[in-house]
Amino acid sequence: MSKNVLISGASGFVGTHLTEFLLEKGYKVKKLTRSLPDTTGDQVYWNPAKGEIELEALEDLDAVVHLAGENIAGRWTDQKKAKIESSRVQGTKLLSESLAKLNKKPEVLIAASAVGYYGSRGDEILSEKSTHGRGFLSDVGVKWENATKAAQEAGIRVCNVRIGLVLGADGGALGKMLVPFKLGLGGKIGDGKQYWSWIAIDDLVEIIYYLLEHEDLKGPVNAVAPNAGTNNEFTSTLGRVLGRPTIFPLPAFVVRGLFGEMGEETMLSSARVTPQKLLDSGYKFKYPKLEQALNNILKVSR
């Protein structure tokens, strides 16, 4: 029997891939959107800033996947930071509280979070049992996950998916990195020793599907590949896959000058995250190693 799932952020990079994947699996997909519903019946209206949501359209859902949130890229002005936080916290709180009110509640809410929850922790291995860190993204992560409380208290199974750097050729950070690297202008960032926890887009959508289907999984779940690497390793691997040199480093002071706090907390931050819950549950990664993932994404045969 097909399941009805509602996706917020369905038009984004991850949401687009997930929607296509779930439709192929036989799911019926509805999209949470700020646009007024069209005649196809697959859209549900909401406006988190105004506290508005089409409550009656949520009654027949089996699952909800909540991915919506302001893009963190760009210089973090006070206004930008407020948008990043409110888009995650207000939106999640509105959705969670609305689902809790339903007569027929969905079985599961899969809510996006991020490995930024852990802050910058050097080479410390971080599992779902690790504490949150310090900094803006960590603070937002705590509030973001806490905003699902109403759904949890209503008996809905909630998974807070702490997503790492998502790798895909058609979006995300890798999409932006490809041009300079293809031109031979790539290089390590800062000292290159900071750990980057990444996940191939194909694995991320498989993980979300896995969480939809596995009723024993709940709470925080790290959606990262099991082999986090340093920025230096990431850089050299990408250059090798593309057949390009990686001899143009981006010094830390330049990152801070160009990107400010955003550069400090993303490009220079170190989070060595392990997907312990997924490994313990038996999930098999399609792309556990970076070179394998990049070869597939970039369709380069070696």
Structural domains present in the chain: 4-298 (3.40.50.720)
Higher pLDDT, 73 or 206: 206
DSSP secondary-structure letter at 42?
Answer: -
The confidence score (pLDDT) of residue 38 equals: 62
Task: List, for residues 94-121, the tens digit of each pLDDT value.
Answer: 999 999 999 999 999 999 999 999 999 9
- Above pLDDT 70, what percent of the chain? 97
Q: What is the mean pLDDT of residues 25-51?
A: 87
- Above pLDDT 90, what percent of the chain? 91
Nearest to 131 by CA among 107, 86, 43, 141: 141
Both tokens of 17, joined, read 């891939």
pLDDT confidence band for 76 (50 / 70 / 90): very high
pLDDT confidence band for 302 (50 / 70 / 90): very low
The confidence score (pLDDT) of residue 172 equals: 84
Nearest to 257 by CA among 190, 197, 202: 190
For 289, counting Cβ atoms within 10 Å of its Cβ (0-12 exposed, 13-18 middle, 19+ buried), the class is middle
The confidence score (pLDDT) of residue 40 equals: 63
Q: What is the mean pLDDT of residues 19-25?
A: 96
For 37, counting Cβ atoms within 10 Å of its Cβ (0-12 exposed, 13-18 middle, 19+ buried), the class is middle
Residues in the chain, overall count? 302
Residue 39 has pLDDT above 90, yes or no: no
Residue 254 has pLDDT above 50, yes or no: yes
Residue 223 has pLDDT above 50, yes or no: yes
DSSP secondary-structure letter at 63?
Answer: E
The confidence score (pLDDT) of residue 237 equals: 97
Q: What is the rounded distance in angstroms from the CA atom of residue 111 to the CA atom of residue 100?
A: 15
Q: What is the mean pLDDT of residues 119-138?
A: 97
Nearest to 68 by CA among 86, 41, 52: 86
* DSSP assignments along 105-140, one per residue: --SEEEEEEEGGGG---TT-EE-TTSPP-SSHHHHH
Mean of the per-residue pLDDT values of the chain: 94
Pairing of strands 4-8, 63-66: parallel
Beta bridge partners of 230: 195
> Which of 22-26, 175-179, 217-221, 286-290 has the lowest average pLDDT?
175-179
Q: What is the mean pLDDT of residues 209-229?
A: 97
Task: List, for residues 148-206, the tens digit of each pLDDT value.
Answer: 999 999 999 999 999 999 999 888 889 889 999 999 999 999 999 999 999 999 999 99
